[in-house]
Amino acid sequence: MSNDHTPKSNTGKMAPPQPDFKVEANPGSHVKKMIAIVSGKGGVGKSSVTAMTALWAARKGYATGILDADITGPSIPRMFGLHPWDLSANETTIFPAQSITGLKVMSMNLLMEDETQPVIWRSPVITGAMKQFWTDVAWGEVDYMFVDMPPGTGDIPLTLFQSLPVDGILIVTTPQDLVSMIVSKAIAMAKMMNVPILGLIENMSYIKCPHCGEEIHMFGSGHVEETAKKEGIPVVARIPIDSAMAAACDTGKIEYYDGNFMDGLEAVLPKI
């Protein structure tokens, strides 16, 4: 990926160049590709989509990791049934926890005795901790690392984009008009940061009738296609509202969930 992060202003003129603050990976990490999962706002199921995306890659035979950068709302460990004692470390290095299928995970919740305790930190402290998940954690051999980014387009996501070697992003949305508008902001930020946008994932897209199989679009339909067409970005997945998936996430058994909605990734991941 290019290190040129020079954005254009709204007038089309070049804005002042932004410095490149990329931090070095731990010597024990050999990560081939890093993909950030982002959303313009919270509440769209970004973390569950991150888990599903990583599971898709792992089931395809790729060595896969998740860096949980949503530090004030870390939920990845619970989905995979991981706990602080699943981490290991020596005097200088932390080693990520591994799920039952070998997927590697690092999250703030794995460093806390009580997962319900809030993380009340200011932005510089949060971004510093996230950088340490990259510099101090030995990830080993990883083909695809998925980063569960904090929601929104504020200071923390901006700093992480500048600090981590992100090769591309997937943007999570839901069918509502308001969310589509906010997604446009996330797209604009990615373009300003010169980060390739791999595609859109529509979560909570529909409910499938258990009797006839009809797809019922509770929140309307067509908004994601409109945004995708406008921005020239593919829609790579539509994920339904599924109580079985919700139960699997809540009980730490996401790896047992057999729903498969992510095959559209096959067309975009090899491009990065």
Mean model confidence pLDDT for the chain: 86
Q: What is the mean pLDDT of residues 49-60?
A: 95
User: Which residues are registered as beta bridge partners of 193?
Assistant: none
Q: What span, in angstroms and rounded, lies between the C-alpha atoms of 24 and 204?
A: 37
Residue ranges of domains in the chain? 30-267
- Among 14-28, 116-130, 246-260, the range with the most confident prediction by mean pLDDT is 246-260
Q: What span, in angstroms and rounded, lies between the C-alpha atoms of 127 and 134?
A: 11
**pLDDT recorded at residue 267:** 85
**pLDDT recorded at residue 222:** 67
**pLDDT recorded at residue 114:** 75
Q: What span, in angstroms and rounded, lies between the C-alpha atoms of 109 and 181?
A: 31
The model's pTM: 0.87
Beta strand segments in the chain, E: 29-38, 64-68, 88-89, 94-95, 97-98, 104-106, 140-148, 168-173, 197-202, 207-208, 215-216, 235-238
Q: What span, in angstroms and rounded, lies between the C-alpha atoms of 164 and 147?
A: 10
Inform me whether the pLDDT recorded for 118 exceeds 90: no
Backbone φ, ψ for residue 258 (5° rounding): -105, 10
- The alpha carbon of residue 158 and the mean position of all alpha carbons in its chain are separated, in whole angstroms, by 14
Q: What is the mean pLDDT of residues 78-91?
A: 94
Asked if residues 192 and 156 have their Cβ atoms less than 8 Å apart, the reply is no
Residues 6+ apart with CB under 8 A from 215: 206, 207, 208, 209, 240
Burial 125-135 (b: 16+ CB within 10 A, else e): ebbebbbebbe
pLDDT band at 5 (very low <50, low <70, confident <90, very high): very low
Give, in words, the CATH class of 30-267.
Answer: alpha beta
Inform me whether the pLDDT recorded for 11 exceeds 80: no
Residue whose entry in the numeric block shows the structure tokens 């089309």: 12
Inform me whether the pLDDT recorded for 148 exceeds 80: yes
Inform me whether the pLDDT recorded for 12 exceeds 70: no
- What length does the chain have? 272
Is the alpha carbon torsion for 28, 31, 36, 37 positive or negative?
Answer: negative
Q: What span, in angstroms and rounded, lies between the C-alpha atoms of 76 and 252?
A: 9
Nearest to 237 by CA among 216, 259, 214: 259
- Mind listing the pLDDT tens digit for each residue in 159-177? 888 899 999 999 998 887 6
Inform me whether the pLDDT recorded for 154 exceeds 90: no
**pLDDT recorded at residue 13:** 46
**pLDDT recorded at residue 20:** 56
- The alpha carbon of residue 241 and the mean position of all alpha carbons in its chain are separated, in whole angstroms, by 19
Helical residues (DSSP H) of 40-173, grouped into ranges: 46-59, 76-79, 123-135, 155-163
